[in-house]
């Protein structure tokens, strides 16, 4: 029998909220204001409108809509599809509260959260920098996610790993 437990994605921390508000204001208002440039430059205005509104839509799509733990897998689902992590492939996992310095290699760094590749090859789906769970797979791949209650999430993974033995 498959027993699945759902976890809410963490709400944005204050810094992420402020960054999101500032970036949204810029990404929304700059393309609109470009239509009022003198002399008019419609190509620049339309291009900036498409690009910046595209950034908003694409970034929003990375927010995890669902985090679930089944008997043998962790599912992180966003608008682009599921990310499946096999529990038996997890070598270590722990809650990380400190933010520290992290280098975004490719992805989103603040708009709605932190998604993509950080610190080289770590894969992040983080909406709150203070509620992170880091999972290192046996292959060396690293996933970082942010459930609303990281302690319960870690306990659930421990429980599922112990049931697999």
| Among the listed residues 79, 92, 99, 56, the one whose alpha carbon sits nearest the alpha carbon of residue 9 | 79
pTM of this structure: 0.87
**For position 21, what pLDDT does the model report?**
96
- Interval 92-130: pLDDT, tens: 999 997 777 777 888 898 899 999 999 888 999 999 999
**What does the alpha-carbon distance between residue 118 and residue 99 come to, in Å, rounded to a whole number?**
13
Q: Which residue has the higher pLDDT, 165 or 90?
A: 90
Strand partners, 74: 69, 85
**For position 2, what pLDDT does the model report?**
67
**What does the alpha-carbon distance between residue 75 and residue 137 come to, in Å, rounded to a whole number?**
15
| Among the listed residues 56, 9, 50, the one whose alpha carbon sits nearest the alpha carbon of residue 32 | 50
- Interval 136-154: pLDDT, tens: 999 999 999 999 999 999 9
CATH architecture of 1-165: Roll (2.30)
**DSSP code at position 88:** G
- 142-145/122-126 β-pairing: parallel
**For position 30, what pLDDT does the model report?**
86
Look at residue 88 and tell me whether its pLDDT is greater than 60.
yes
**For position 1, what pLDDT does the model report?**
56
Percentage of residues in the chain having pLDDT higher than 90: 70
| Among the listed residues 100, 132, 95, the one whose alpha carbon sits nearest the alpha carbon of residue 113 | 132
Torsional class of 8: left (φ above 0), alpha (ψ -120 to 50), beta (otherwise): beta
**For position 157, what pLDDT does the model report?**
94
Instruction: Tell me the backbone φ, ψ of residue 146, rounded to 5 degrees.
Output: -130, 85
Percentage of residues in the chain having pLDDT higher than 70: 98
In angstroms, how far apart are the furthest CA atoms of the chain? Answer: 70
């Amino acid at each position: 029998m498959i027993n699945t437990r759902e976890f809410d994605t963490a709400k944005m921390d204050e810094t992420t909220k402020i960054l999101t508000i500032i970036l949204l204001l810029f990404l929304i208002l700059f393309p609109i204001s470009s239509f009022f440039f003198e002399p008019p430059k419609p190509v620049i205005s339309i291009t900036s409108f498409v690009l910046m509104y595209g950034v908003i839509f694409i970034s929003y799509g990375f927010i995890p809509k669902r985090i679930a733990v089944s008997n043998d897998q962790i599912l992180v689902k966003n608008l682009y599809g599921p990310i499946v992590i096999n529990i038996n492939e997890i070598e270590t996992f722990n809650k990380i509260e400190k933010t520290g310095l992290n280098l975004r290699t490719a992805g989103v760094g603040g708009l709605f959260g932190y998604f993509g590749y950080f610190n080289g090859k770590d894969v992040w789906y983080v909406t709150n920098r203070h509620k992170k769970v880091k999972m290192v797979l046996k292959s060396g791949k690293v996933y970082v996610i942010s459930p609303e209650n990281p302690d319960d999430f870690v306990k659930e993974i421990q429980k599922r790993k112990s049931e697999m033995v």
